[in-house]
Structure 1
Amino acid sequence: MDDARLDLTDLFVFTVPGERTVLIMNVHPLAPAAGAAFHPDAVYRINVDVDGDDLADAAFSFVFSPPRDGQQTATAYWATGAQARTPEPGGQQIFTDVPVASGAEPRVAESGPYLFFAGLRSDPFFADLDGILKDFQWTGVDWGADKNVLSIVLEVPSDELCPDPLIGVWARVSLWQDGRLRSVDRGAHPSLTAYFNADEAKEAYNEGEPVHDWDTYHDAWREVLRHTGGYDAQAAEEVLLTVLPDILRFDRDLRAAYPNGRTLTDDVTSARLAMVSGGRIAGDHIGPHTDLLLDFPYLGTPHPDPATTPG
């Protein structure tokens, strides 16, 4: 919708010591160091499937006040059961009017066993995007090295989120329009839409539900893999089963490493290049960022003056 505040850039899920699960969704690519704000008419959401039916059993929804004098607040809801499957924010209000961090210092909120952060951070995404656009002639330049995003970070006790170690996670950004919530972006696995969806299909994809992904997209996406990677039908279907439905699975009894969850240092760009090329392109030779934090909220300090255009 030509509004960067509604642009979902990345989703991460991993565990940290103390048997705690971390959920991160980033929006607003190229967020400026000053004046970046979440959309006050949007609902930002992280959905969690705990029983493998590709439907939300829990949902964390985040809404934001209109910016005023450069300040904004966030309220977070946790819904379960039937309430988790309605688009409106509902359920238990676990954080209320938390100040959004707009500066270098993270403003961490704590409520019982939950930790919450919303605000400007360094973008953890790393890739040679210019090299990809130049037909895989690598430049050695990490496009994301000096970029910022707006981040929503939540840390919860793993057992309280779900006693079973296996969960599925996806994110969604919706906007209030004409009295209803319209889904304008959604996803879990990185870089799917860029490679698999034609421009005219992206709006319908963003409005869709993961439970319908396989039936809706696997034929068209299988053809993409045949064209880009030389896959036969059976091999393409096996690969697509790892990303359709577009839900990021995470067995928390195992180490987080994409596609089992996703950490801030996982090389998802190389994984996707290898997938779409049938293994002919192994990666883009760009490594993870070194400004990540060991503690909550884990993402690095915002850059003071990020670049505003690729390249």
Structure 2
Amino acid sequence: MSHHLSGPDLRSPQGDARLDMTDLFAFTVPGDRTVLILNAHPAVPKEGAALHPDAVYRINVDTDGDHQADVAFSFVFSPPRDGRQTVSVYRATGQQARDHEAAGEEIISDAPVSFGAEPQVVSAGPYLFSAALRSDPFFADLEGIANQFQWTGKDWGADKNVFSIALEMPSSELSPDPVIGVWGRVSLRTDGELKSVDRGAHPSLTAYFNPENSAKTAYNEGEPAQDRDTYLRQWTEVLQHTGGYEQAAAEETLNTVLPDILRFDRSRPAAYPNGRTPTDDITSARLTMVSGGKITSDHIAPHTDLSDRFPYLGTPHAEPASL
């Protein structure tokens, strides 16, 4: 289910929804600008919602194709108080971008987190930024998937909210080369140590390919640069079992998602797996992959409450449903 509930037992990492990265988007908008969005906290409750003050939320960008971060944006949230929360944004490059800590230049300080219907947008130098409660753009018939693909027509995400961290900038701010790779990560500081508890780029990978709880935990702690060596063999076996693939065909198919970095050639329109927009039907794409083409759609359409302006996701639902 996209990247929701990516911890053991199909729960949030460490059983804490605040630490659950749900989706990652990368697309361009007019004016030669790149948009990066990381969503977290599935099915945000109406009251008492906030992001974790001891976590580092992060968007990593590979600009040279070596599967390591060359630019990284880290988002650090204050402890919530009286229904309010702020967030600071850091931009790191080079070796600092490969550390999970919030390092580098602080490009936005103490921006307000928006909990109401209207997002507060911060303009800082070349950047637009928003951290806000928004309508979850994820769409899928999860009940049908869980019930042996007997489709119900029910969109799990139709009434859900999510916290959305959105950043827009001139495309040249990342790299003059139009081709970039993007992935997200959430790390938690515990007993003075920062540890990765969730990460990903391509949607719905760990749910389908890492059935064991220990595998999910190890995956969330891992680095994309090691993904192909670590997971190619076992994920090939998964595709052979679920989709009837021959080994060579399975390995070729997995080239799209291993390593787990979302490649985006910005000289071409964004459409998954070339980047990802909020209307891309990633559930059908993943069903097609794992079934070997036997199941090509869950028959759920994209949400229609999206905005054509920053931060692009829809107004949050007044009475969001729980998980």
Q: Same fold (TM over 0.5)?
A: yes
State the match for 2:226 in structure 1. Answer: 212
State the match for 1:94 in structure 2. Answer: 107
- Cα RMSD over matched residues? 0.6
Q: Which runs of 5+ in 2 are unaligned?
A: 1-13
The count of aligned residue pairs is 309
Specify which of 270, 274, 281 is matched with residue 267 of structure 1: 281
Specify which of 26, 38, 41 is matched with residue 39 of structure 2: 26
Paired residues for 1:1-311 under 5 Å: 1-198=14-211, 199-309=213-323
Indicate conservation of the 8 Å contact 1:34/1:102, yes or no.
no
Distance 2:100 2:17 in 1: 21
Indicate conservation of the 8 Å contact 1:33/1:302, yes or no.
no
Indicate conservation of the 8 Å contact 1:250/1:260, yes or no.
yes
Aligned partner of 1:9: which letter?
Answer: T
Distance 1:295 1:248 in 2: 23
Residue 86 of structure 1 and its aligned partner are, at CA, apart by 1.0
Residue 200 of structure 1 and its aligned partner are, at CA, apart by 2.0
1:42-82 CA distances to partner (integer Å, 9 max, x unpaired)?
Answer: 00000000000000000000000000001000000000001
Residue 264 of structure 1 and its aligned partner are, at CA, apart by 0.5
Post-superposition, which runs of at least 4 consecutive aligned residues in structure 1 deviate over 4 A? none
Which TM-score applies when normalising by structure 2?
0.95
Aligned partner of 2:310: which letter?
Answer: F
Indicate conservation of the 8 Å contact 1:36/1:150, yes or no.
no
Distance 1:286 1:111 in 2: 38
Distance 1:35 1:192 in 2: 30
Aligned partner of 1:63: which letter?
Answer: V
Distance 1:297 1:34 in 2: 22
Residue 35 of structure 1 and its aligned partner are, at CA, apart by 2.2
Residue 160 of structure 1 and its aligned partner are, at CA, apart by 1.4
Distance 1:295 1:132 in 2: 33
1:188-222 CA distances to partner (integer Å, 9 max, x unpaired)?
Answer: 00000000002220111000000000000010000
- Any idea what SS the aligned residue of 2:15 has? coil
Indicate conservation of the 8 Å contact 1:6/1:173, yes or no.
yes
Distance 1:116 1:33 in 2: 23
